[in-house]
Structure 1
Amino acid sequence: MLEGNRVTARISVRGFAVASATAVTTVGAVVGVASGSDQGQTTTDVEATAADATLLADIPAGQQTQAQTASLTQQADSASTAAQAEAKKTAEEAARKQAAEDAAAKRKAAEEKKRKAAEKKAKEREEELASQSASRSDDRSDAGDFEQQSSYSVAEIKSMAQQIVGGGQYQCFSQIVDRESGWNYQASNPSSGAYGLVQALPGSKMASAGADWRTNPATQIKWGLNYMNDRYGSPCDAWSFWQANNYY
């Protein structure tokens, strides 16, 4: 039944198209004669138009709808694909931007942490030096003046050093004196001129601590302690340097 209707529709449309084309041809011919135009050319154009109408009429109505639907679907798919690509591009750009911001924030945090650590270390060092300075001041005030003797034993000299240097730094001071002079306050290096417990070079430097620097171990100890504090920060710092370099 549907096929019969489709054939009928084709015939009807075809007949209408042919009839229309014939009518147009007839009118065109009359007009062409009246106006003196080329009748042959007009007839050809009208016949082509009629042929096109016949070809369109040959496509069933259902297939025309399917073709239109397929075209719209393709357009929608293309638009969707383009939208997805744009969304992906936007998301990737946002991700790159966020990653860059996160990296910058991490670098800033690391630099801030490093700065604070350096400040903390510097502050602790200042406090340590201040404490050592106060300790040295106390040690010097507690040491007092030692009675001058014609000679001193190693035990007596070490006792002086413990009182002058103080317990916190004495072991480091002792390590250096052990290696420099073996606690001989009259030790002299004939090649360099170094002299005394701490081998001051030249020995006359120790005159800043007392005129009796040649014969008084206490004067030599005081000078050596001041030297280590001024040059290295403390006897223990001087000992660390000595261990690395075999001199101080």
Structure 2
Amino acid sequence: MISSLTTRVAARKKTFAATAAVLLGASGAVLGTTGSASAASPQELARDIVPASQYAAFSKIVSHESGWNPSATNSSSGAYGLVQALPASKMSSAGSDWKTNPATQIKWGLNYMNERYGSPNAAWAFWQANGWY
């Protein structure tokens, strides 16, 4: 019973740490707010949000999915944004500015990759095997 509880607490701590990493950049400052970050390119924002060990894979997925265009829309499916969320409105869980803020889209995409695949590296491996993620 105690070992089961300890395992669940450890898992929750890991999930919390991953979520905190998505919401905070490497500097510990909240990203995607008004200020100098808004002038940064989506790639620069992603470098601040995505862990360095995961950035290459994240970048490859975004390059294939949207060409780093935060307004990219798939005309047949309706998938939207840097990470081609479907439905696009799912990104609202990361912020109300999901339609226009690349940082919000990056945070949502990183969280999605972490939750569904375990990491952007694992998501990229899946993408390579299947041509989608």
With structure 1 as the length reference, what TM-score do the two structures score?
0.43
Call closer, same or farther: CA 1:143–1:225 in 2, change over 3 Å.
Answer: farther
Match of 2:20? 137
Partner of 2:41, secondary structure, is helix
- Aligned partners of 2:96 and 2:69: how far apart in 1? 19
2:79 maps to: 194
Q: In the alignment, which residue of structure 2 is the partner of 1:225?
A: 110
In the TM superposition, what is the alpha-carbon distance from 1:213 to its structure 2 partner?
0.6
Identical columns (%): 57
2:45 alignment counterpart:
160
* 1:193 and 1:202 in contact (8 A); partners too: yes
- Superposed displacement of residue 145, structure 1: 3.0
User: Quick one: which amino acid aligns to residue 209 of structure 1?
Assistant: A
Deviation at 1:143, TM superposition (A): 4.9
d(CA) in 1 for partners of 2:121, 2:60: 9
- Give the aligned residue type for 2:20: S
Q: What 5-or-longer segments of structure 1 have no aligned partner?
A: 1-125
Give the whole-Å Cα distance in 1 for the aligned partners of 2:98 and 2:119.
22
Match of 1:146 in 2: 32
Between the aligned partners of 1:182 and 1:175, the Cα distance in structure 2 is: 9
1:169 to 51, 54, 57: 54
Change (3 A) 1:156 1:174: same
Deviation at 1:138, TM superposition (A): 3.8
Which residue, out of 118, 130, 133, partners 1:245? 130
* Separation (CA, whole Å) in 2 of partners of 1:200 and 1:206: 7
Output the aligned Cα RMSD. Answer: 2.4
Q: Aligned match of 1:209 in 70, 75, 94?
A: 94
Report how far residue 156 of structure 1 moved: 1.5
Q: How does 1:1-248 map to 2 (within 5 A)?
A: 130=14, 134=17, 137-138=20-21, 140-141=23-24, 142-148=28-34, 156-248=41-133
Q: How many residues align?
A: 117
Q: Distance in 1 between matches of 2:74 and 2:50?
A: 24
Runs of 4+ in 1 over 4 A off after TM superposition: none
Q: State the structure with more CA Rg.
A: 1
| Structure 2 stretches lacking a partner, 5+ long | 1-9
Aligned to 2:3: none
Quick check: which one's helix share is greater?
A: 1
What is the CA deviation profile of residues 162-189 of structure 1, one whole-angstrom value per residue up to 9, with x for unaligned ones?
Answer: 1111211111100100000000000001
Q: 2-side partners of 1:196 and 1:148: how far apart?
A: 20
How far off its partner does 1:135 sit?
A: 5.8
Q: Is the 8 A contact 1:186 1:214 kept in 2?
A: yes
Aligned amino acid, residue 195 of structure 1? Y
Q: CA separation in 1, counterparts of 2:18 and 2:85?
A: 24
Aligned-residue offset at 1:237: 0.3
